[in-house]
Structure 1
């Protein structure tokens, strides 16, 4: 009897673009993809951190490049992706949040969140997809969404709106691009402990709220999301598209 073989999660020979890749979830994803064999381009707004991340990856012996880039500049982003691509894998970890009670939301905050989380995310995915289509190559486009793309949350009306919209365009893009072998998915993390979110976790009320809503009993770590990114980037997920992979400790199950 010949036993079936499971596709492995190696990414040798593939090129990955990680937006927001100089810190937090993005940096963890960049490192994980590189360790799986991908050549990684780290993109982000902060030049010094982008180059520091590139240098750290190269110090481990990985192929890596730095790409200082603000993805809200759609024209610059399209040009950079066209010049540097095609990329077989996209992980878009860039995002922002401005929380407020629904009746207190300011238009400028709404616009700021949508500009990054929705508008820039959409056109970054489009730019990478265009390169793959032109090169007639398959690929995997991954956006870091949120558990708040599946449910609601207090003082998160705008953030939830942006992430629900990401889930919508992901499903539609998956239908459009599927015939070309391009898969489009999201990862939906719960609250992830990073240097940026540490002050949020320091609030006793917040810790109680998180503890009450995560059946596994802990908040997330960046490695939890990075493992999901490697899976979605690899052949192990070859039939997965238009999906939202929850990495939420069971939050949305309840």
Structure 2
């Protein structure tokens, strides 16, 4: 199934490394004029070297006003992928305010801000569009020591539903992808210890964690016209974890 985004502009947050980087590269490969947004300039420089056609923008998404100004200055987008995300793990009783704020500010507040800025342009230009958030299977099933992370991903799922409802009449589709543990740097941080990861892995019928390509393929499909009647979906990419 060939997917092309010729003539489309795409914005990807958290595009410096991990899943976001792979999504940006895939969109560029599929013909989209891709803008990669990231906090680390070094990661963006590396991405630009790997794919010179990608435009880069360095900004801290946790600064609401600065991020909004930077995104608006980039112009109109047809496609948006909110991939920026962070995690801090630990027992519920030990969570501190700074842990809560750190994860919520990136995983939901920044995502909300970026989505609002991009969607306003889509509505103003009457162009329609497609938005995909990176959520997690952790929004659907409790995971020990992930109280804050699970909460943020539940909020992403809920926001996806509201955006689909309110933006759908403007021909803007909003969906999210909900992968299980994926072996990026953040995935290794949470699940790199085999003793810790084995109980989760044993619950996945396919017997493995997600590969980055599994997630990228789901995101690209949801952005494409192949999914033109999919709106408000939370697409599990978790090997059957949620049915086991």
Give the TM-score normalised by the residue count of structure 2.
Answer: 0.96
Aligned residues: 244
By how many angstroms is 1:108 displaced?
Answer: 1.2
Contact 1:19/1:91 (8 A) holds in 2? yes
CA contact (8 A) 1:16 1:38 kept: yes
- Structure 2: distance between partners of 1:195 and 1:161: 21
Task: Give the deviation of 1:240 after TM superposition.
Answer: 0.7
Could you tell me which residue of structure 2 aligns to residue 81 of structure 1?
Answer: 71
Q: CA separation of 1:108/1:197 partners in 2, compared to 1, >3 Å: closer, same or farther?
A: same
- TM superposition shift of 1:51: 2.1
Task: Structure 1 unaligned segments of length 5 or more: list them.
Answer: 1-5
Match of 1:70 in 2: 60
Q: 3-state DSSP class of the match of 1:103?
A: helix
Q: Distance in 2 between matches of 1:178 and 1:122?
A: 17
Q: Deviations over 1:29-88 (max 9, x none)?
A: 111111111111111000011122122112xxxx31010011111112211221112111
1:41 partnered with 2:35:
yes
- Other-structure match for 1:53: 47
Residue aligning to 2:20: 26
Per the normalisation by structure 1, the TM-score is 0.92
Where does 1:6-155 land on structure 2 (aligned, <5 Å)?
9-58=3-52, 63-155=53-145
Q: Which residue does 1:236 correspond to in 2?
A: 226
In structure 2, what is the equivalent of residue 3 of structure 1? none
1:159–1:199: structure 2 CA closer, same or farther, 3 Å change rule? closer
- SS of 1:49's equivalent in the other structure is helix
Q: CA deviation at 1:221?
A: 1.2
Asked if the contact 2:130/2:173 (under 8 Å) is kept, the reply is: yes
Distance 2:240 2:25 in 1: 26
Q: Does 1:178 align with 2:168?
A: yes
Q: Which runs of 5+ in 2 are unaligned?
A: none
Give the Cα separation in 2 of the matches to 1:250 and 1:21: 27
Question: Judging changes above 3 Å, is the alpha-carbon distance between structure 1 residues 199 and 107 closer, same or farther for their aligned structure 2 residues?
Answer: closer
C-alpha displacement of 1:197: 3.2
Partners of 1:190 and 1:243 in 2: CA distance: 16
Q: Could you say what secondary structure the match of 1:78 adopts?
A: helix
Separation in structure 2 between the aligned mates of residue 56 and residue 171 of structure 1, nearest angstrom: 35
Which of 177-186 and 197-206 deviates more?
Answer: 197-206
Segment of structure 1 superposing worse, 80-89 or 184-193: 80-89
Greater than 2 Å deviation, 4+ residue runs: 195-202
Give 1:190 shift.
0.6
What secondary structure does 2:152 align onto? Answer: helix
1:196–1:104 Cα change, 3 Å? closer
**Given that residues 181 and 191 in structure 2 are in contact (C-alpha distance below 8 angstroms), is that contact kept between their aligned partners in structure 1?**
no
CA distance in 1, matches of 2:142, 2:191: 19
Q: 1:55 & 1:88 partners in 2: Cα distance?
A: 25
